[in-house]
Chain A
Amino acid sequence: METKHAILVGVGGQGAILTAKVLVAGLMEAGYDVKMSEVHGMSQRGGSVSTQVHWGKKVYSPVIGEGAADLLVAFEKMEAVRYSKFLKPDGIAVINDYAMPSSTTAAGLCAYPEGCVEAMKKNFKCYTLNAADIALRLGSAKCMNIVLFGAMIKALGMEDIDWEDVIRRTVPEKFLELNLQAYHAGRDAAK
């Protein structure tokens, strides 16, 4: 198979890295060669962050440039726009319809852009959901990343992997029930 490329983007602290780790754990068990790359450093302090996951028979580069991603998972809608250039023209986007102001918009130095989700929908096949709302309804904002994980699996369609089992083995026991609910809620909500 050709190597597949997913890019998970959001704001530091949203849990994109854990989501990528669950994905990687499943891919490893399915026998794929996997590489994962994330940016550390100053970007952690409320900045925009990205994590990439690549899988296939043999993966070389741990990173891709523009126009190469099969899947973009955005934990925040303006970040979807920021990284949209990374998608192949026929790539798929999973978008959390949720806005986090940046320090520049909060301070009134510039305006948060309108129509992020609509612009993405006009150009790409998109799955959207408000994962923040869903997570709060389930009882904890912290499971937002697994809600998005569910939506991502729906978009990927990798049904041959037992993802519930993967979640069972990658999240702490204490939060297992919540995360399983989050996973299913995300799969159901993504449209």
Chain B
Amino acid sequence: MMKQYLMSGNEAIARGAYEADVKLCSAYPGTPSTEIFETLPKYKDDLYCEWAPNEKVAAEVAYGGAVAGVRSLCAMKHVGLNVAADPIFTAAYNGIGRGFVVVSADDPSMHSSQNEQDNRFYAQHARIAMVEPSDSQECKDFMKEAYQISERFDMPVLFRTTTRVSHSKSLVVLGEREEAQPFDYHRDAKNISAPARAYQNHPKLEKNLKALEEYGCTCPINHVEMNGTKIGVITASIAYEYAKDVFPADTSFLKLGLTYPLPMKLIREFAEKVDQLYVIEELEGFMEQQIKAAGIPCTGKEKVSRLYELNPQRLQEEVFGKKPETKDVGVTAVSRPPALCPGCPHRGFFYTMSKGKNFVISGDIGCYTLGSAAPLSAVDTCVCMGGGFSVGMGMAKAFEITGQCEKKVFGVVGDSTFFHSGMTGAAEIIYNKGHMVPVVLDNHITGMTGHQDNPGTGFTLQGEIAAAIKIEDVLKAYGYEKILIVDPQDLTAMQKTVDEAEVSTVPTAIICRRPCLLIKRMKHDIGLCEVDSSKCIGCKKCLKVGCPAVMMENGKSRIDSTQCVGCTVCAQVCPKGAITRKESK
């Protein structure tokens, strides 16, 4: 038997890229896609990989690589594709040189996302091929197929996974690395999407899609499993695995790996062979809508809800009406929500903001979204990467227009988000005279996604030393006259900084600077705080900082020594000096 390896879908995608001889890889981290690029440096002798400042840049770099003659890859979470959509839509018209694959990792049920958009519609919208694997073996194998499709049909390929495909681990048999044919770059007018050329490119794309649909009827990643003629199921991606568990053994399957364009001839033939046809898919009825539009009767979203992640038991209940048998133990677990870690540098900033009566805080995506949770409750909005500054600008303008001058807007982004899309918002505030304060919470890392480097950290994905762009230099160049840099863990200094920014009459920005305690390559000053019960009056002020290590026991404050790192934020708010820090843990 061939040796099998346990791999996540993301690790298998990275392996597939290596086996397909991909040479250039660029991405911005985002759950559930991140581990693809965390795996790629393993193969750095044979390929180049990098973190780009954002998904649009990543897609452009990869497209440029493909035009110039090397197989290229970019990857992002589903909402990242909203950012990267611009180059991808037009790359479809231009065509490519060597293979260009865009991985989109969707997040049904929003395990760590702000929405559960179904990115399969991007393939239809951009008129490009889409490949969907359903387990780790397919993640690896389909990558090779995706590059062949990209080159044969001269278009980008959307390689779409979901959290369950990307993060589940299953057994993989490795393959040999295939060398891609060398390519000599020559200038070609097809790569210039000026109007007249785009006009010519569009029908070419449609012709390629037609040929691709034809190919889909015989291609190796679309296959029919005939087991009977009563029920037929058309399915793809993770829904295939669920359907295999749930439908009776004599159900026939049309399992699709190439899901755009749909191989309608193959679908029609399959439909004719079975009495009853189901289309089983997670989220939207993407395939079902097209199959119904082609005049083929089928059942799909009438039964299976478009909401949230599917699983076999849900499918069983929704399709066959069989509810799983469970027991109610009669005790209810209370919620265990995520919180800013003990010692998190963001705590001091949000604690300070939580005390401001007229503060409006426009938040952003990252660990600091947790500043919205009780008891800090210091965030008004959170919508997308980079929105912290620009949404705040809109709110500040609205307050100005309606005369609500007492309200003071602070827009918050992290360091990685600043480079991602906060910089344009910072320019907007200066250019259009915004009465608001942009705040960068600089913890020297891309935190929530699991610690990836960014243009401010001084290191690249491949582990090399890089130029570290200074946020204050950027803000200064934009025209911020006052840039207040503060250690947010020093509550007195933090308060003073906020007070100064609140009344400042010149363009002012704040940088809260302290590294995340979880950064492995840094030495951290770890200590331990302790409560002197004889001094504690049980006022619960220390609970207001929202630290998981601080709790009340028998009317007195207690600090859990296994969690505390000695940041002293709780000690600084204690009115009786009952909390002190021991120097070392």
Interface residues of A (CB under 8 A from B): 11, 24, 28, 33-48, 59-68, 78-79, 81-82, 84-89, 101-116, 119-120, 122-124, 141
Q: Are B326 and A85 in contact, CB atoms less than 8 angstroms apart?
A: yes
22 sampled A-B residue pairs with Cβ under 8 A: A34-B171, A36-B6, A36-B168, A37-B168, A39-B111, A41-B112, A42-B448, A44-B338, A45-B338, A45-B370, A46-B339, A61-B238, A61-B311, A63-B168, A67-B325, A84-B326, A84-B329, A87-B326, A87-B327, A103-B548, A107-B374, A119-B330
Q: Are A113 and B333 in contact, CB atoms less than 8 angstroms apart?
A: yes
What 1/0 flags go to B531-555 for Cβ under 8 Å of A? 0000000001001001010111000
- B112's partner among A40, A64, A102, A111 (CB-CB below 8 A) is A40
Can you name the residue of chain B whose Cβ is closest to the Cβ of A67? B324
- B241 sits at the interface (CB 8 A): yes
- Chain B interface helix/strand/loop/mixed: loop
- B171's partner among A33, A113, A114 (CB-CB below 8 A) is A33
- B297 sits at the interface (CB 8 A): no
Across-interface contacts of A78 in B (CB, < 8 A): 333-334, 336
Across-interface contacts of B332 in A (CB, < 8 A): 81, 113
- A28's partner among B4, B334, B548 (CB-CB below 8 A) is B4
Across-interface contacts of B314 in A (CB, < 8 A): 65
Q: Tell me the smallest distance from the CB of B432 to a CB of chain A, in Å.
A: 34
Across-interface contacts of A59 in B (CB, < 8 A): 170
Q: Are B329 and A123 in contact, CB atoms less than 8 angstroms apart?
A: yes
Q: Tell me the smallest distance from the CB of B447 to a CB of chain A, in Å.
A: 10
- B260 sits at the interface (CB 8 A): no
Q: Are B338 and A46 in contact, CB atoms less than 8 angstroms apart?
A: yes
6 cross-chain pairs, A with B, having the tightest CB-CB distances, nearest first? A41-B112, A67-B324, A65-B313, A106-B551, A62-B168, A82-B333
Inter-chain CA distance A187–B337, complex, in Å, is 32
Give the residues from 327 to 383 in chain B that come closer than 8 angstroms, CB to CB, to chain A.
Answer: 327-341, 367, 370, 374-375
Q: Are B313 and A40 in contact, CB atoms less than 8 angstroms apart?
A: no
- B140 sits at the interface (CB 8 A): no
Q: Are A65 and B324 in contact, CB atoms less than 8 angstroms apart?
A: yes
Inter-chain CA distance A40–B10, complex, in Å, is 13
Q: Are B331 and A113 in contact, CB atoms less than 8 angstroms apart?
A: yes
- B23 sits at the interface (CB 8 A): no
Q: Are A104 and B326 in contact, CB atoms less than 8 angstroms apart?
A: no
Given A61-B311, A89-B326, A48 and B241 contact (CB-CB distance below 8 Å) = no
A-B contact sample (6 more), CB < 8 A, given A46-B339, A68-B313: A41-B31, A42-B112, A61-B242, A64-B311, A116-B333, A120-B329
Given A82-B333, A104-B336, A68 and B341 contact (CB-CB distance below 8 Å) = no
Inter-chain CA distance A38–B170, complex, in Å, is 12
Given A24-B6, A35-B169, A113-B332, A107 and B551 contact (CB-CB distance below 8 Å) = yes
Q: Are B327 and A84 in contact, CB atoms less than 8 angstroms apart?
A: yes
Given A46-B338, A46-B548, A102-B335, A38 and B311 contact (CB-CB distance below 8 Å) = no
Inter-chain CA distance A45–B340, complex, in Å, is 7
Inter-chain CA distance A65–B341, complex, in Å, is 30
Interface residues on chain B, size class: 35 or more
Q: Are B311 and A43 in contact, CB atoms less than 8 angstroms apart?
A: no
Inter-chain CA distance A37–B168, complex, in Å, is 4
Q: Are A103 and B339 in contact, CB atoms less than 8 angstroms apart?
A: yes
Q: Are B327 and A124 in contact, CB atoms less than 8 angstroms apart?
A: yes
Q: Are A106 and B550 in contact, CB atoms less than 8 angstroms apart?
A: yes
Across-interface contacts of A101 in B (CB, < 8 A): 551, 560
Inter-chain CA distance A106–B339, complex, in Å, is 12
Q: Tell me the smallest distance from the CB of A87 to a CB of chain B, in Å.
A: 7
- B334's partner among A42, A46, A102 (CB-CB below 8 A) is A102
- A62's partner among B164, B326, B548 (CB-CB below 8 A) is B164
Inter-chain CA distance A85–B323, complex, in Å, is 12
Given A68-B324, A79-B333, A42 and B164 contact (CB-CB distance below 8 Å) = no
Can you name the residue of chain B whose Cβ is closest to the Cβ of A93? B329
Across-interface contacts of B552 in A (CB, < 8 A): 106-108
Inter-chain CA distance A45–B342, complex, in Å, is 10
Inter-chain CA distance A87–B154, complex, in Å, is 50
Across-interface contacts of A85 in B (CB, < 8 A): 326-328
Can you name the residue of chain A whose Cβ is closest to the Cβ of B311? A65
Q: Are A34 and B170 in contact, CB atoms less than 8 angstroms apart?
A: yes
Across-interface contacts of B240 in A (CB, < 8 A): 60
* Residue among A42, A79, A102, A113 having the largest count of chain B Cβ atoms under 10 Å: A42
Q: Tell me the smallest distance from the CB of A72 to a CB of chain B, in Å.
A: 11
Across-interface contacts of A107 in B (CB, < 8 A): 374-375, 543, 546, 551-552
Q: Tell me the smallest distance from the CB of B383 to a CB of chain A, in Å.
A: 17
Inter-chain CA distance A24–B313, complex, in Å, is 23
Can you name the residue of chain B whose Cβ is closest to the Cβ of A141? B562
What 1/0 flags go to B452-495 for Cβ under 8 Å of A? 00000000000000000000000000000000000000000000
Q: Tell me the smallest distance from the CB of B343 to a CB of chain A, in Å.
A: 12
What 1/0 flags go to B236-251 for Cβ under 8 Å of A? 0010111011000000
Across-interface contacts of A34 in B (CB, < 8 A): 6, 170-171
Can you name the residue of chain A whose Cβ is closest to the Cβ of B31? A41
- B312's partner among A37, A68, A116, A120 (CB-CB below 8 A) is A68
Q: Tell me the smallest distance from the CB of B413 to a CB of chain A, in Å.
A: 18
- B169's partner among A36, A103, A110 (CB-CB below 8 A) is A36
Across-interface contacts of B337 in A (CB, < 8 A): 47, 102-104
- B32 sits at the interface (CB 8 A): yes
Across-interface contacts of B4 in A (CB, < 8 A): 28
Q: Are A66 and B6 in contact, CB atoms less than 8 angstroms apart?
A: no
Across-interface contacts of A44 in B (CB, < 8 A): 338
Q: Tell me the smallest distance from the CB of A185 to a CB of chain B, in Å.
A: 21
Given A41-B111, A60-B245, A109 and B374 contact (CB-CB distance below 8 Å) = yes
Q: Tell me the smallest distance from the CB of B24 to a CB of chain A, in Å.
A: 27
Q: Are A43 and B111 in contact, CB atoms less than 8 angstroms apart?
A: yes
Q: Are B448 and A38 in contact, CB atoms less than 8 angstroms apart?
A: no
